[in-house]
Structure 1
Amino acid sequence: MSEPDNADRLKALEERIRKAKGEPEVAHHSESHHSQAQLAWRMVTELVAGLGIGFGIGYGLDVLLGTGPWLMVLFIFLGLAAGVKVMLRSAQELQIRQLADRADEDGDG
């Protein structure tokens, strides 16, 4: 059997044992921690991508136009601003999702 099949079978067995013992369902802390780490890496990646793209565009224009580092510096700052803007949008998405989850748990809809 392949590895995913064994993992699925193990989870199913754990679930059956938990139900047989009458234990309440346990929230998996590691899954929420994992999703937080994914979000953090996503934000870091977005910021670095903005800086990298700004550097690439600025350096390319400087080489083509012979303007020295001025366009590179300008586009690095523009890339930084774009990266921060995307990071803030990601954080806002997370906040909206958490508020919706809390509302669902409270039954407020």
Structure 2
Amino acid sequence: MTEPDPKSRLAALEARIAAARGRDEPRKRHQDEHYSQAQMAWRLVIELVAGLGIGFGIGYGLDILVGTTPFLMVIFTLLGFVAGVKTMIRSANEIQQKGLLDASGDGADEEEDGENGDRDARR
């Protein structure tokens, strides 16, 4: 009596293992998952703090060079705050637009095609 082909036995075993593990469904990559609310909030906070830090650094550096200790530091810190708030608002609008697209069921591919089409039309 002959035994079945080892390759076919191995293929059958792999199919059974895959079915048992549920690998028939493709796994989502971490990059494909949607961002959580906490990640978006941290992004906004970091943008604000970065604007403040950069403005403070530039102002402090110019104060040391020029010799006007608190004057430029205060001005550039305020400018950094304004820049951070503007960046936060821009990011919040971007997040909101992506949320509206996800909620309406439109795919990101359609949005990208529309943007590329607009760019091509402008050229």
The answer, yes or no, to whether TM exceeds 0.5 is: yes
- Aligned residue identity for 2:40: L
Question: What CA distance in whole angstroms lies between the structure 1 residues aligned with 2:38 and 2:68?
Answer: 41
Residues 25-81 of structure 1, C-alpha deviation per residue, up to 9 Å, x if partnerless? xxxxxx76x621111111111110000000000000000000121000000000000
How well do the aligned residues superpose, as a CA RMSD in angstroms? 2.4
Alignment partner, residue 71 of structure 2:
70
TM alignment of 1:10-89, pairs within 5 A: 13=21, 16=22, 35-89=36-90
**Larger displacement relative to structure 2 (96-105 or 59-68):** 96-105
Question: What CA distance in whole angstroms lies between the structure 2 residues aligned with 1:102 and 1:46?
Answer: 26
Question: TM-score under structure 1 normalisation?
Answer: 0.65
Shift of 1:104: 1.1
Count of aligned pairs: 80
Question: What CA distance in whole angstroms lies between the structure 2 residues aligned with 1:64 and 1:36?
Answer: 42
Gaps of 5+ in 2: 1-19, 26-32, 111-123
DSSP 3-state at the match of 1:59: helix
Percent of pairs with identical residues = 62
Question: What CA distance in whole angstroms lies between the structure 1 residues aligned with 2:67 and 2:95?
Answer: 43
- Aligned residue identity for 2:77: I
Gaps of 5+ in 1: 1-11, 20-30
Q: Which has the larger radius of gyration?
A: 2
Comparing both structures, which one devotes a greater share of its residues to helix? 1
